[in-house]
């Protein structure tokens, strides 16, 4: 049986012109970045712009925030091609999808329903932001690049570039997994180490 695959996935989405969503607007995927990892080795990566189906014209706010142009999106792959690509990754090996937060999978599901195509993934999905929050006991969810900086590392590339964010998610995953392994190997203190037995003996000698 093939070794399992971790697919670190990041999407960027369309945005309305104002922060209040107009009637009928829903975010659509316009950029994909993914990093495929098997046995702790990167076996592949992919990056592309994606043409939205429902609202093909980007708003000025979206172009400014993501620093992209309409021409870049117009030259991108179709949403159907994106789903086909993701489905192929899922078929090649047992796949666990890794994202920072839950939004990527939520929007992918909604876009698939809107386009009337089957959701491409059949395996597990792990929200690394939630795992990070639980591991460190944080009250609030930490932004991806802030999480890397808290480890004293630099994020990959620039923010809101899908492939750079996918690589950054892989970076923080390795850091947290190494910490988990270290903690698992560290033996808990014995009762003798936790209690000062000399003081205990003095107490009972009185």
Extents of the domains making up the chain: 5-205
**Phi/psi at 51 (nearest 5 deg)?**
-80, 120
Strand 5-13 and strand 29-38: pairing?
antiparallel
Is the pLDDT at 200 greater than 90? The verdict is no
> Per the CATH hierarchy, to which homologous superfamily does domain 5-205 belong?
Ribonuclease H-like superfamily/Ribonuclease H (3.30.420.10)
Considering the chain, what percentage of its residues have pLDDT values greater than 70?
88
Query: In the annotation, is 160 catalytic?
Result: yes
pLDDT computed for residue 117 by the predictor: 98
pLDDT class for 100, splitting at 50, 70, 90? very high
pLDDT computed for residue 30 by the predictor: 98
pLDDT computed for residue 203 by the predictor: 55
Whether 121 and 82 have beta carbons less than 8 Å apart is answered as no
Query: In the annotation, is 125 catalytic?
Result: no
Q: Look up residue 187 and give its DSSP letter.
A: P
CA distance 7 to 173: 12
The one catalytic residue in 110, 131, 150, 160 is 160
pLDDT class for 18, splitting at 50, 70, 90? confident
For 137-194, write each residue's pLDDT tens digit. 888 889 998 998 888 877 788 888 999 999 999 999 999 898 888 777 765 655 555 5
User: Angle at the Cα of 78 (from 125 to 69), degrees rounded to 5?
Assistant: 100
* Neighbouring-strand partners of residue 44: 36
């Amino acid at each position: 049986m093939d070794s399992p695959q971790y697919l670190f996935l990041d999407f960027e989405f369309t945005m309305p012109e104002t922060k209040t969503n107009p009637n009928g607007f829903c975010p659509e995927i316009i950029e994909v970045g993914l990093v495929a990892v098997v046995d702790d080795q990167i076996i592949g990566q992919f990056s592309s712009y994606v043409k939205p189906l429902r609202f093909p014209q980007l708003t000025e706010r979206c172009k400014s925030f993501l620093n992209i142009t309409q021409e870049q999106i117009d030259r991108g792959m179709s949403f159907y091609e994106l789903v086909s690509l993701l489905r192929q990754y899922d078929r090649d090996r047992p796949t666990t999808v890794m994202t920072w937060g839950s939004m990527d999978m939520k929007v992918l599901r909604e876009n698939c329903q809107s386009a009337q195509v089957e959701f491409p993934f059949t395996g597990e999905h792990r929200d690394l932001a939630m795992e990070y929050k639980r591991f460190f006991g944080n009250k609030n969810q930490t932004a991806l690049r802030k999480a890397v900086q808290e480890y004293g590392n630099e994020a990959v590339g620039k923010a809101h570039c899908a492939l750079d964010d996918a690589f950054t998610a892989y970076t923080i995953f390795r850091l947290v997994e190494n910490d988990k392994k270290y903690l698992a190997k560290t033996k808990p203190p014995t009762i003798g180490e936790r209690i000062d037995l000399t003081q205990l003996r003095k107490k009972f000698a009185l």
